Amino acid sequence: MDYDPQVIEERWRERWASEGRYEAEPTADDGAIEKTFVTVPYPYPSGGMHIGHARTYTVPDVYARYRRQRGDAVLFPIAWHVTGTPIVGAVERLRNGEQRQIDSLQNAFGVPEADLRELETPMGYARYFIEEAASSYKRGMRRLGLSIDWRREFTTNDERYSRFVTWQYETLRERRLLEKGKHPVKYCTREENPVTTHDLLEGEEAEFQEYTLIRFEWERDDDVVIAPMATLRPETVRGVTNVYVDPAAEYVLATVDRESWLISEPAVEKLRLQQRSVEVVERFAGERVVGERVRNPVTDEAVLVFPAGFVDADNATGVVMSVPAHSPDDYVALREVQADAERLARAYGLEEASIRAIEPIPILTVEGYGTVPARTAVEDAGIDSSDDPRLDEVTTALYRDEFNDGRLTEAYGPFAGDVVRDARSSFRERHRDRGHFDTFYEFTEEVICRCGGAVAVAYQDTWFLRYDDPGWKEKAHRAVARLDAIPENTREQYADTIEWLNGWPCIRNYGLGTRLPWDPTFVIEPLSDSTIYMAYYAIAHRLEDVPVEELDREFFDTLFSGPEAVDDPNETAIALREEWEFWYPVDVRCSGNDLIRNHLTFFLYHHAELFEEPHWPRGITVMGMGLLEGRRMSSSKGHVVLPGDAIDRYGADTVRFFLLNAAEPWQDYDWQAEEVGTTRDQLERFWHHAQTIIEADRSRSSSELPSTEPDGGRSQLERIDRWLLANLQDTIREVTDALERFETRTASQVVFYRFEERLRWYRRRTDLDRPGAQSTLRAVLETRLRLLAPLIPFVTNELHEQLTGLPADDAPWPDPDHALEAPQVSAEERLVSALYDDIAEVASVTGTDPSTVRIYVAEGWKRQVLRAVVEQASGTDGVPQVGTVMASVMENDALRERGEEVNTVVARLIETVRDRGAGEVEHLDEIDELDVYDDASAFLSREFDAEVVCVPETETDDEKATDAIPLRPAIRLE
RNA sequence: GCGAGGGUGGCCGAGUCUGGACAAAGGCGGCGGACUUAAGAUCCGCUCCCGUAGGGGUCCGUGGGUUCGAAUCCCUCCCCUCGCACCA
C-alpha cells in the first residue's frame, strides 16, 4: 500500500468530524478522570492563515492530543477576534479601490477577483477569512487536523460575548480599576478624526514624544508673556545662555488658557488639539522678538533672543532654548552668532560686547569629555560649521552619554550628583508642580494620513485600565509566581512587565467590538476585550439558548462567583457554573513570545482580579517566531506560505511534523521548502517500513496460532531484541517527559529520528526473519505509533488501525515496562559497536581487507583489576582515582608482582570506566565478554566478509593477544 | 543606553542548567559504494588535519582564570537578534 497522505488524511478528517471526536463534555466529577483545558489566542481574521499561524495552533493541539491519550477530558476551543480597526480599515481601503490592499489580498492569500465584493462589509470580510476563503483559518485548522471543539466558536463582535465583556468592564469600573484620564492619540487634522497606524500614508513608525515646555517669561509692556521653550532635556535648563527663534517664520502672541504665550503660528492648532484654548491676539515675523530678553523660571536669569535659521517653526512651539555647553548644535550656533555679533548688534540694537560675553554654562559632568562637553565633542570631531553633517552624529553620541553617565552639578540642589537618567523625570515633575514647566506632545517624524491631511497629536479624554494600581500589581505578581511558565526564563519577563506597566488606555473612537457600557461612543480595544474570554469558552455553546437580555451583571456574577453573590440568581447561570468550574482554570495557554509584554500579562492581571485564586491560569507556553526561507514572513509583500498549499503538496502530517520538529515551540524556526520535502520523504520511508511489518504480522497471524507461551514469546528474544526493547522503554519515558514540557522537537527527535537510527543498527545486526525479531519489530511499531500520534495524527491512526484494528487515538498512552529495561544489555551492545569501529578503523588505516578477524578477550588477573576499578568507581560517583585503585590492587600479591603491567591496565581501565555513565558502570564487571563477542560474530563476519574467531587471550600464543584489556579486546586481522 | 536571548564543524542545529562517553547528536549539502538499462527513490559507508594497528593534533566569537579535566563554571572584550509600549 502506497503512502498517499491526501487520501488517508481526508478519510480521518471526515471520520473525526462525523463522530464529533473532539467535542468536549465535562465528566462526572468522581475524580477518576482529569481534565485539561488548553487555549491559544483566537485568530484575527484581517487576512488569511499562513504557515506561522499553523504552528501556533498545532503546538497546543499536540498537547491536547497527548493529554487525551492519557485519558483526560480535554477542551481545545477556538473563536475569532474581530475587535478594533484592522478589519474596518482594510474594508475601507478596499472600498476605496486601493491597489496596495487588493494586491496584498490577491498575492498573499490568493483571493479571486470575484470574491472581492464579499469583502466590502467588516463582518463579511471577517467571515470570508474565518471560513470561506481557500486560505481561511477554519479550513486551515481542519485540514491540519486540529482537535478543536467547533461547537464553541464565536466572534468578539457577538451580542452575547459583548454582554460578557460588559460585565467585565462594569465590574472593573466599580472596583476603580478603570479610570478616566487623558492620553495622546494620532489625529487627522483634515478629517478631524483620530486615526490608527493602518490609516497612515507616512510616518507609520512615528512615536509620541513628550516635550517639556519651559515657561520662560518675557516682560512686554505691563504684560508677562510666556515663551515656552520646547525641549526633551529639561534638566539642562540651568545651562541656557540664550534662546532662538526663526526670524523668517510667522509667530503669534496668543491667549492660551488665559495667559499670554509667544509661539509659532503652526503651534496654535497643535495646542488646541492638546486641549488648550488658544486665541491669537497678534501676528508677526520671528524677527520681531530678536533682541528681547526672556527670564529663565528656574534660574531667574534673563537671556537674549537670537535669530537662527535652524529653528523649525513647525516643530513644537518654534521657540527653543540654547544650551551650548551640552548641545553641539547650540555650541556651533552660538559661535556663529558671536562671529556675526557686530551685524546683529547693529540690526537689533544690542550691545556687541554682551553678545560676545556669552559663555557656555556647564551643568553636568560626563566622563570622556572636558568641562564643556559640547566643545570637546565639536573640537574632537573637527567640526567648524553648523552645516557639517557630522554634527548630528556627535550630538546623538553626546546626548546618549550625558543621559547615561552625566552627573548634575551642585546647582541642582537635591539632584546634585545624580545621573541624568535617574533624575530627569523627577526633576521635571518637581518643576511642573511649581509651575515652571508644562507639557507638549509632538511626533518623532512627520505623519500624513491616507487622505493626505497632516496628522497631529491630540490629547484626549480616555479610560485607563489601572495596571499601575499597587493592589492589582501585587495580585498579578502572585499569579506569575504560581504559574508554570514555559520556558522558565519567561517568568521574569512577566514580572518585569508588571513592574513596567502604567495605565493602559483601553478604548478607541471606532472599530468593531464591545461598546463602553456607559459611553457607547467608545469601543473597548482589542487587547482589552480579550483577557478572560477563556472562561467564556467553557459555556459559549450553552449561551446560545439563553436570551441576550438575561445576560446581565447578575447572570455573570452568578456564573463566576456563585449563586450567593446575588439576590436572585438565574437558574441557567447556576447550572452553567458547574460546567465552567469543571473546565477552569486554564491549564495551558500557548501564545507568541511577543505577547508577554501585553496580552499575556493582561490575561494574568484580569484573572487575578476577577476570579478566585484556584481559577487563575496554571501555565503559559510561549512560542517563537517563524521565518520563511531565512526571511521574515510578510503578507503585504506576498512572502508567505499558505497551509492549504503546503498540505496539498506535502500532506498535513508532514506540515505538522516539520513545524513541530524545526525547533522547540519557544524558539524561532525557519520554513525551508527543501527541508519540508525531506520530512515528507522520511514519513514515507516510515510508512513503508510499517507496511512491511503490518503485512508480515497479517500473514503470520493468519498462518500461525497465537503464541500460547506464558511469557508471551519473550523466551524467543535474543540479546539484540532486548537491546531494542530496552531502548524503546527509554524512549517512552523521554517522549512523555518532553510532551509534558511542550518540547515537541525533543519528542519527535527521540521517538522518530533517534529511534530510526537504532532501528538501522538493529536491522544490520540481526536476522529479521526470526520470530523473536518479528514480534520485537511489531511491538516497537505499535508503541511508536502511539507516541507519535499527538504529533502526526493521520498517518499514525491509519497505521495503528491497520496493525491492531484500533485507531492510535483510542489506544492508551504507553507506560515503560520495567521488565524490559536492560542496562547491562545496553552496556554489552556498546562493546559490540566499539569493537566494530575498532576493526573498521584498523582495516582502513592499514589498508587491509581481512579474511580472518581474531578477537582476543582479556582474562585472568586483568578481570581482577577491572573489578577493583568498578568497585572504586561505584564508591566515588563514577570517577575512580588512580591512586586509590592502585592501592587496593597492590594489596593482592599476584598483581603486585606484575607491577608496571598492572599500572598500565589500571590507567586504561579508569579512562574507559570514566567514559561510562554511573548507571552502566556497575554492570561492567558482570559482562561475559567472550559470550557477547561470540554472539556478535555472525554479524561481524557479515559486515567484514571475513571469518571471525573469538578466543580468550590465555588460549593463544599470538603475541598480539597480550594487548587485550577488559572491555577492549585485542584484534588481529589476517 | 536599559532589558531579554544568542555567537558551536560547508550550512541548519543539539549539547551549556547538573564539567568527564565531545572531533562534538541529528538534518541538509558533498563524496564513495550497493541496487538500477538509466535517472529517481531506497540502503550502506565517509565527510577538521595527520597516521600501513584501534593512535595523535587542532577545534565550540575573543582574551584570561578555576579544575586532574571546560563547548559547558567565573571574569574581560567583540559581534548579532528582539523589546523599550498603547499596533494587533
Nearest residue (Cα to C1') for B2?
A: A404
Instruction: With a cut of 80, say whether residue A772 has pLDDT above it.
Output: yes
Per-residue b or e along A761-784, where b marks 16 or more CB atoms closer than 10 Å to that residue's CB: bbeebbeeeeebbbbbbbbbbbbb
3-class secondary structure per residue, A88-155: HHHHHHHHCCCHHHHHHHHHHHCCCHHHHHHHHCHHHHHHHHHHHCCCCHHHHHHHHCCCCCHHHCCE
Residues 6+ apart with CB under 8 A from A435: A215, A297
Instruction: With a cut of 80, say whether residue A489 has pLDDT above it.
Output: no
Q: Which nucleotide is nearest to A689 (CA to C1')?
A: B42
Band of pLDDT at residue A528, cut at 50, 70 and 90? very high
Q: What is the mean pLDDT of residues A387-394?
A: 77
| A727 closest CA partner among A832, A817, A789, A660 | A817
Instruction: Report d(CA A240, CA A301) in Å as an integer.
Output: 9
Instruction: With a cut of 90, say whether residue A793 has pLDDT above it.
Output: yes
pLDDT in tens, A736-755: 988 988 888 888 888 998 88
Q: Which nucleotide is nearest to A970 (CA to C1')?
A: B54
Report the amino acid identity of residue A39.
T
- Give the single-character DSSP code of A419: B
- Give the single-character DSSP code of A584: P
Per-residue b or e along A527-541, where b marks 16 or more CB atoms closer than 10 Å to that residue's CB: bbbbbbbbbbbbbbb
Range A829-832, long-range pairs (CB < 8 A, 24+ positions) = A829/A719, A829/A720, A829/A723, A830/A920, A831/A927, A831/A929, A831/A932, A831/A933, A831/A967, A832/A765, A832/A932, A832/A933, A832/A936, A832/A939
Tracing cell 515496562 back to the chain, one arrives at: A817
pLDDT score of A394: 78
Burial of A705 (0-12, 13-18, 19+ CB in 10 A): exposed
Q: Which nucleotide is nearest to A848 (CA to C1')?
A: B52
pTM of the predicted protein model: 0.85
pLDDT score of A875: 58
Instruction: With a cut of 70, say whether residue A949 has pLDDT above it.
Output: yes
More confident residue, A712 or A127: A127
pLDDT score of A707: 52
Report the distance from CA of residue A799 to the C1' of nucleotide B11 in Å, as an integer.
Answer: 35
pLDDT score of A573: 96
Q: Which nucleotide is nearest to A917 (CA to C1')?
A: B21
Residue A343: what are its φ and ψ, rounded to 5°? -65, -45
Report the distance from CA of residue A913 to the C1' of nucleotide B21 in Å, as an integer.
Answer: 9
Q: What is the mean pLDDT of residues A870-889?
A: 66
| A415 closest CA partner among A405, A404, A426, A399 | A426
Instruction: With a cut of 70, say whether residue A873 has pLDDT above it.
Output: no
Instruction: With a cut of 90, say whether residue A209 has pLDDT above it.
Output: no
Band of pLDDT at residue A84, cut at 50, 70 and 90? confident
Report the distance from CA of residue A809 to the C1' of nucleotide B85 in Å, as an integer.
Answer: 44
pLDDT score of A553: 94
Instruction: With a cut of 80, say whether residue A216 has pLDDT above it.
Output: yes
Band of pLDDT at residue A569, cut at 50, 70 and 90? very high
CB atoms closer than 10 angstroms to residue A379 = 14
Instruction: With a cut of 90, say whether residue A311 has pLDDT above it.
Output: no
Instruction: With a cut of 70, say whether residue A627 has pLDDT above it.
Output: yes
Instruction: Report d(CA A282, CA A411) in Å as an integer.
Output: 38
Compute the mean pLDDT over every residue in chain A, rounded to the nearest whole number: 87
Nearest residue (Cα to C1') for B14?
A: A746
Instruction: With a cut of 60, say whether residue A81 has pLDDT above it.
Output: yes
pLDDT in tens, A404-434: 778 888 888 888 887 787 788 788 888 888 8
Starting at the earlier edge strand, list the strands of the sheet with A669-671.
A631-632, A626-628, A669-671
Report the distance from CA of residue A266 to the C1' of nucleotide B59 in Å, as an integer.
Answer: 65
Q: What is the mean pLDDT of residues A330-339?
A: 90
Q: What percent of chain A has pLDDT over 70?
A: 95
pLDDT score of A571: 93
Q: Which nucleotides of B are covered by protein (CB under 7 A)?
A: 1-5, 12-14, 20-21, 25-29, 41-46, 51-54, 68, 82-88
Residues in chain A: 974
Report the distance from CA of residue A26 to the C1' of nucleotide B80 in Å, as an integer.
Answer: 50
Nearest residue (Cα to C1') for B53?
A: A842
pLDDT in tens, A257-284: 999 999 999 999 889 988 888 999 999 9
Nearest residue (Cα to C1') for B68?
A: A881
Report the distance from CA of residue A422 to the C1' of nucleotide B23 in Å, as an integer.
Answer: 51
Query: How far lies A106's CA from each of A85, A114, A163, A420, A580, in Å?
Result: 21, 11, 36, 52, 42
Nearest residue (Cα to C1') for B46?
A: A844
Instruction: With a cut of 70, say whether residue A712 has pLDDT above it.
Output: no
Band of pLDDT at residue A77, cut at 50, 70 and 90? very high
Report the distance from CA of residue A623 to the C1' of nucleotide B81 in Å, as an integer.
Answer: 16
Band of pLDDT at residue A370, cut at 50, 70 and 90? confident
Report the distance from CA of residue A892 to the C1' of nucleotide B76 in Å, as an integer.
Answer: 53
Q: Is the bond into A617 cis (omega within 30 degrees of 0)? A: no
pLDDT score of A917: 57
Per-residue b or e along A324-334, where b marks 16 or more CB atoms closer than 10 Å to that residue's CB: bbbbbbbbbbb
pLDDT score of A889: 74
